[in-house]
Structure 1
Amino acid sequence: MVELSRADLHVSVSDPVATSMNFLNEIAGRYPEAISLAAGRPYDGFYSTEDVQRYFGSYVDHLRAGGLSEEQVRGLLLQYGRTNGQIGTLIARMLEVDEGIVVPPESVMVTAGCQEAMIIALRALCASPDDVVLAVEPCYVGLTGAARILGVDVVPVPESPAGLDPETVAGVAREVRAAGKRPRALYLVPNFSNPSGISLPVATRRTLLDIAGEQDLLLLEDDPYGLFGLDDEPRPTLKSLDTGGRVIYLGSFAKSCFPGARVGFLVADQTVVDAEGRHTLLADEMSAVKSMLTVNTSPISQAVIGGVLVESGCSLRAANRDKVAFYRSNLRTMLAALERHLPRSGRGERPVRWNVPRGGFFAVVDLPFPADEKLLQLSAEQFGVLWTPMRFFYSDGGDHAVRLSCSYLKPEQIAEGVHRLSRLVAANA
């Protein structure tokens, strides 16, 4: 039998972040009784197969009400479809209703999850080896992993405990140019970031847009958690504040609808001009990339999401009231448990401390000792609790911190998980 050298395979196969995440999954499988404060998955209790059938039917009814024949409906749902998708009009209406984002439906591309949207955006924007992407660090591993597969360099922009400083973005962009590279875009999650949980103040968002203009940067705004604030305070998206066409908006229906549908989208309403002076939308240009990746996003999956939008009047905020209340309660439960069980002290000069996000699924705990895979194994085996080492989200750093997730569990499991974590801390501090 043929044997292949691992050294001859692409670097993404042995990406340390990917192998670390695989290790986390292996630990979870090895210790099924451990409480997982690691998984950032939505809560299972919100989903049923009956809902899938109902939403699919609602979308079919929507198509029929729009005057389509049975033959046309069948062709839309059961054949290969338009590369950029068929529910762009519904998504554009949702963005206007929920976020105040006004874009033409033609600028919306429906993708096979937001992960595909990231790959398409990176591939389309980074044309030469000298093109790089900046990313707020700590950074979601899906972005860094996608860049690794594509061979695109990611340059970290460090985030302070207070959040991103736009001047730091400008400084990193200047350093990249001084090194002979071209910074094309900055990736960030402005609302309740994964993994840090931090949100950008509105004033910072406006300043960041100004800096993006000065530095000729596009902004890749990823917004999977924006619905799930602890309060109803308006948190305008960068895209809704954007008057200069700097923002490419990345969205997902995984947290708000069905993760199993694997439907995401991007909004790329920027104008592209070719050598003959012809003008097109960036979303149309990106369709060539998508056609070579997945041909088109499953029309059946799109129909299920379309049904959610039809039934909710194109408002995910309306459709997610129960989920918002649940995730708010879970985050408050986790923060209260941290306050109750964890000491704000530690060995030497490094105290135990944690941030207090204003929404989302995650919080970060700094520990007085390294939090690595060896400690995670010990935590699962002897204390029955899982968490995610923050160093998975850094190019270099995060060695003494862990990410805790509160999305997948019931409140009593969250409280018990934090209690178990406190015992691990007490045993090692």
Structure 2
Amino acid sequence: MDGQSADVFGRGARLRKGELHSSVSDPVLDTMTFLNEVTLRYPDAISFAPGRPYDGFFDTEQIFGYLRGYLDHEAARGSSPERVRTLMYQYGPVAGQIRDIVADWLRVDENIDVPPESVVVTVGAQEAMLLVLRALVCGPEDAILVASPCFMGITGAARLLDIPVTPVPEGADGYRREALEEVIEQERARGRRPRAFYVIPDHSNPSGATMGLRDRTELLELAARHDLLIVEDSPYRLVSPGPPLPTLKSLDRARRVVHIGSFAKTVFPGARLGFVVADQPVVEDHPAVDGEPVVGDQPVVGGAGRRTLLADELAKIKSMVTVNTPSLSQAVVAGALLAARGRLSELNAKAAVHYDDALRHTLQELEARLPADRRAALGVRWNEPSGGFFLGVRVPFRADNAALVRSAEEFGVIWTPMSYFYPGGGGDQELRLSISYVTPSEITEGTARLARFIEAASSAPS
């Protein structure tokens, strides 16, 4: 190391932490860094922390095949070599250059029938969350409601935008209508307008809960009754076993649902490709076209007769965030969709079986290591999700960062504190297990180590 590098903290401008945006000191933004540090510090520990897809399904050569498939598709639809070159090498349309392919896939695989103009292709689902929050919240009176426990991505995005979120407690089976209505009334009593409710209906991260069909229809009815939007995020549907329940968006007849999606689990996360379906019409506060008022809630007609959708407004914001989504990533994912003939569910059939086997194996091993009578004596319990990557374990001790370090150091097993996922506080005696990135032998050994840790921590003085 040279003298200049060694002296990086010793001279020059210094910034005070208190003069930076407060989000940089928020524990939510430190969680992934902490988990990564623990993983690096204890490389021999078996980790049930990362919610990433299993590497065994990836083949490097597929990338080239998918890319070639998309280029051939463009040529077949009449694009000249110069046009194809521009598509690959230049800045593309802000809202995405594969919106038609994404819309076709949604119609075939998810029964979501929307025009391509309502789709915005984003840099992962995380950007989609940021765009939706920024567009929907226009003042301190607007409230964003989130299911609790909740995926950290939405709470982290809200924190960056200085948007407070209001938790809606889940029950054992996830979403509870009574809890949501109670929170809506409480927010209105405080003079706030409940703007949207964020939820993962299928195999939720972190709890693993799935919303039943009746609950889905009730939620849509509730949204209409309370003039509420639903922000649906559902990345685990097509990598889970059996026919999935319909998405909220496919059941949506009143354009109450903004649907966020990701190709991280169904294609590969390195593409960093997501999307948002936002087909809600946007009207002017005092609408008029050519001096004549617009009747009812018809969308404003812009240049060349173009209707304005929420997707158009999201694209405006995106143009100042990432400008556009990388063309190469879009091309590769489009190639995968074309190769699957719009059936990512079939492309992921093998993966769904693998993840289901991993989940069942984990539950069986936990049962063997901590049978019912022993669990009752200790005060330990867990849920049994029907799919997805995660399950939650309730323990009789504080499952915090200190406990995680002890678990990794003394017992060689890593998990995620569930308290990370409770924006209003809670989850102090819960931990999350991810089954997606561990092998069968790691599951067997890892659950044995976890059981030994739980036994030891449960008997330790508080």
Residue 345 (structure 1) shift: 5.7
Counterpart pick for 2:164 among 128, 138, 153: 153
Which residue is equivalent to 2:4? Answer: none
- Cα distance in 2 for partners of 1:393, 1:382 equals 25
Which residue is equivalent to 1:38? Answer: 49
Counterpart pick for 2:200 among 189, 210, 213: 189
Amino acid of the residue matched to residue 262 of structure 1? R
Residue 49 (structure 1) shift: 2.2
**1:428 corresponds to 2:451:** no
1:7-406 correspondence to structure 2 within 5 Å: 7-230=18-241, 232-274=242-284, 275-276=287-288, 277=294, 278=300, 279-344=307-372, 351-394=379-422, 395-406=424-435
Amino acid of the residue matched to residue 420 of structure 1? R
Contact kept? 1:385, 1:421, Cα under 8 Å? yes
**1:412 corresponds to 2:441:** yes
CA displacement 1:14-34 (0-9 Å, x = unmatched):
111221331111000101110
Contact kept? 2:240, 2:353, Cα under 8 Å? no
Alpha-carbon RMSD across the aligned residues, in angstroms, is 1.3
| Shift in alpha-carbon separation, 1:308–1:347, aligned structure 2, 3 A | closer
Contact kept? 1:344, 1:352, Cα under 8 Å? no
Q: Report the secondary structure of 1:148's partner residue.
A: helix
Q: Report the secondary structure of 1:273's partner residue.
A: coil
> Which protein has the larger Cα radius of gyration, Structure 1 or Structure 2?
2
Residue 138 (structure 1) shift: 0.1
Q: Report the secondary structure of 2:282's partner residue.
A: strand
CA displacement 1:85-137 (0-9 Å, x = unmatched):
01111111111111111000110100000000000000000011221200000
- Cα distance in 2 for partners of 1:347, 1:321 equals 34
Q: Report the secondary structure of 1:250's partner residue.
A: strand
| Shift in alpha-carbon separation, 1:137–1:346, aligned structure 2, 3 A | farther
Residue 182 (structure 1) shift: 1.2
Amino acid of the residue matched to residue 396 of structure 1? G
- Cα distance in 2 for partners of 1:321, 1:176 equals 43
- Cα distance in 2 for partners of 1:52, 1:384 equals 35
Structure 2 unmatched ranges of 5 or more:
1-11, 289-293, 295-299, 301-306
Residue 347 (structure 1) shift: 9.3
Residue 306 (structure 1) shift: 0.4
Residue 167 (structure 1) shift: 2.4
CA displacement 1:152-200 (0-9 Å, x = unmatched):
1100000011321112211111111110111110000000000000000
Residue 58 (structure 1) shift: 0.6
Scaled by the length of structure 1, the TM-score of the pair is: 0.97
Residue 146 (structure 1) shift: 0.1
Runs of 4+ in structure 1 deviating by more than 3 angstroms, as ranges, are 343-350
Contact kept? 1:343, 1:352, Cα under 8 Å? no
- Cα distance in 1 for partners of 2:428, 2:212 equals 27
Scaled by the length of structure 2, the TM-score of the pair is: 0.91
Contact kept? 2:398, 2:428, Cα under 8 Å? yes
- Cα distance in 2 for partners of 1:234, 1:421 equals 31
Amino acid of the residue matched to residue 237 of structure 2? G
Residue 343 (structure 1) shift: 4.0
Contact kept? 1:119, 1:146, Cα under 8 Å? yes
Aligned residues: 428
- Cα distance in 2 for partners of 1:72, 1:346 equals 66
Percent identity at matched positions? 51
Contact kept? 2:195, 2:229, Cα under 8 Å? yes
Residue 47 (structure 1) shift: 1.5
